[in-house]
Chains A and B, each alone.
Chain A
Amino acid sequence: MWTFFHRLASPPHIYRLAATFAPWLLFPGLVLVAYGTFVGLFVAPTDYQQGDAFRIIYVHVPAAYLSMMAYMIMAVGGGIGLIWRIKLAHTVGAAAAPLGAAFTLLALLTGSIWGRPMWGTWWEWGDPRLTSELILLFLYFGYMALRAAIDDTLKADKACAVLALVGVVNVVIVHYSVEWWSSLHQGQTLLRKGGPAMDPAMLYPLLAMILGFTLIFGALLLRRVRTEVLYRERRTRWVREMIMAGQGGK
């Protein structure tokens, strides 16, 4: 049984498996997103409080959820890589960072656009989630900048792992401190996005979108892990043989 895992962790295997599995995540993900988009936009009933603007939830929530999940992957991957010295864990973390940053940006933009008709402003500093999400974006930038600044791959992996782990604790603290801060200034209304308990007709497309986006994220992550593995192993024999044989492209 352990040989299975050992083989699984070997880079040439990962390289091949990632290519094999990616479509299996991508296509169901696209189907779910298509279903969720159609139903969410045209079939779900209009919200009594927010009108049709609430439909933004169908992209905002998946984006926000993924922005946090990607960060957890980075932090957990970094932790596993540090403690058990498993290189693949570091590789996955490195691959997840740009994706996570992209989804964080999407969450911020859609959140801001949603805020305009709801709060009358493009940005609301008093909202704990928006502000925490912004700090999360800075965490991503810091992680990517640190990785780019350190030349040695292993050193960069370890340094970024420490940064990611420290950041996890920090995101929680930031969220609660902003919540305290905004509770001081009672003037701002914290609108609960999505309104009261969700009508199932609104909920199902949302779940579909969340799941679909996650599957697509998984496929994109596998692709990036594949590239990352190729880059890190560029001087090894198996890569040389594979390229000489003209295989393993794309």
Chain B
Amino acid sequence: MGNYGAYVWTCFALALAVLVYSDWSARVRHKRVYRDIEVRIKALEERE
């Protein structure tokens, strides 16, 4: 990679990190939203 190895590999690693983080945060957010709604609905059901 000539002398530029560190630069090139860092960039690819950053790209990978961004993709992985986007995917992970999307999943986490979805789970959290789902769980919040589920909890609220179950609570409403119990009250009836």
A and B: direct contact (Cβ < 8 Å)? yes
Measured between beta carbons, the chain B residues less than 8 angstroms from A117 are 3-4, 7
Measured between beta carbons, the chain B residues less than 8 angstroms from A240 are 41
User: Does B12 contact A216, Cβ atoms closer than 8 Å?
Assistant: no
Q: A52-B5, A53-B8, A116-B7 are in contact. Are A59 and B14 (CB under 8 A)?
A: yes
User: Does B37 contact A60, Cβ atoms closer than 8 Å?
Assistant: no
A-B contact count (CB 8 A): 95
Q: Mark B5-32, 1 if CB is under 8 A from A, else 0.
A: 1011011101100110111011101110
Interface-facing stretch out of A177-185, A192-200, A226-234: A226-234
User: Does A41 contact B23, Cβ atoms closer than 8 Å?
Assistant: no
Q: Would you call the interface of chain B mostly helix, strand, loop, or mixed?
A: helix
Interface residue? B43 (CB, 8 A): no
Q: Which bucket holds chain B's interface residue count?
A: 20 to 34
A/B interface sample: 10 pairs, CB < 8 A: A41-B12, A52-B2, A98-B22, A98-B25, A117-B3, A117-B7, A220-B22, A231-B33, A243-B37, A249-B34
B residues whose Cβ falls under 8 Å from a Cβ of A: 1-5, 7-8, 10-12, 14-15, 18-19, 21-23, 25-27, 29-31, 33-34, 36-38, 40-41, 45
Given contacts A56-B8, A59-B11, A103-B18, 18 further A-B contacts (CB under 8 A): A41-B1, A52-B3, A52-B5, A59-B14, A59-B15, A60-B11, A98-B25, A102-B22, A106-B18, A110-B15, A116-B7, A220-B23, A223-B26, A227-B26, A230-B30, A230-B33, A240-B41, A250-B27
